[in-house]
Amino acid sequence: MKPYLEKITRGEDLTITEMEQATRLMFDASTDPAAVGGFLIGLKHKKEAVSELTGLVNVIREQAVLLPEDLPKAMDNCGTGGDGSMSFNISTTSAFVVAGAGITVSKHGNRSISSKTGSADVLEALGVDINLSPDQTYALLKLNDIAFLFAQNVHPKMKQVTGIRRALGIPTIFNLIGPLTNPVELTTQLVGIYRRDLLMEMGATLHQLGRKRAVVINGPDYMDEAALHGETHGVLVESGELLPFTISPEDVGLSYAEASEIRGGDALENADILRRVLEGEPGPHRDTVLLNAALAIFADGTAQTVKEGVALAKQSIDEGHALKKLETMIAFSKKQKEVAK
């Protein structure tokens, strides 16, 4: 690790190839954990570069547990977490709305990081099996246009650095790249990040990783989601161009609501919120989901504007398509468990 430590200490960015080599060393059990910790702190102090984000993601994805290759065009709307907002599971709820709008969603996620309940936790509470095999996940994705990929299962190599990250006790580059490591080859993507200073870098990284179109957002109070209590800052990535924008709920026909109105709870409470939104209950939870689903639909290119995306998201909920995606996922999980008995 020494040459890479020395380079970033000088304030120089690593190339993609250098970051790939450094990452393989981080995942090598023989590498000194102190060197890995120093490297991660050095990257944070310097500020993570596009080449470093890209190199890290390349190695994580090449070592992931892969699904069969002949999948349909797919997107993801996973955020980084880390914003400390304690909101309900916005992106997970939105994923069903996006799928209900006719877009295939490979939903990558994990257990809770900065909130009480992560996507894996809330889906478990709803009766979804988060430990499907790659073949089962593939079958569900083909059947339902949405499946969940549990990060701990698809990235076993990440365990090598878990203890080091825990010992450091501060966010590192690994806290930024979760949404980028989906093992499915994504065509489009919505990424929420908790660091507004990295919007452009994240957009450029998505382009490097081959996304044809993507949107990166950072919400009010530096949330990794769009919200109703202020402006959301974003970057549209299209054909290699990075186009910054800001959007408020009023711009797309939604009403202001305080951040406190979308706070979540434990897995059971958040599962209840998710289901009530998909069943059509009005209020700030629904409107927050409409905004985030609309941004994902816009990121996919199915909607030409975010306002058009809101209309498609409303249709997905009101016509029962989003709820049907959830019910199919639950039914599929139950069937797999019965077969395994």
> Where is the binding site for Mg(2+), in residues?
91, 224-225
220-240 as b/e: b if 16+ CB within 10 A: bebbbbbbbbbebbbbbbbee
Q: Binding site for 5-phospho-alpha-D-ribose 1-diphosphate: what residues are annotated?
A: 79, 82-83, 87, 89-92, 107-115, 119
Length of the chain (residues): 341
The two counts, helices (H) then strands (E), for the chain are 15, 7
Q: How many CB atoms lie within 10 A of CB 194?
A: 23
Please state whether beta strands 188-192 and 213-218 pair in parallel, antiparallel, or not at all (unpaired): parallel
Q: Binding site for anthranilate: what residues are annotated?
A: 79, 110, 165
Q: How distant, in Å, are the alpha carbons of 20, 267, 277, 287, 333 from that of 326?
A: 38, 16, 12, 19, 11
Q: How many degrees, rounded to 5, is the angle at CA 277 between CA 313 and CA 333?
A: 95
Q: Binding site: what residues are annotated?
A: 79, 82-83, 87, 89-92, 107-115, 119, 165, 224-225
State residue 139 phi and psi, 5-degree precision.
-65, -40
| C-alpha Rg value of the chain to the nearest Å | 19
Q: How far apart are CA 214 and CA 293, in angstroms?
A: 13
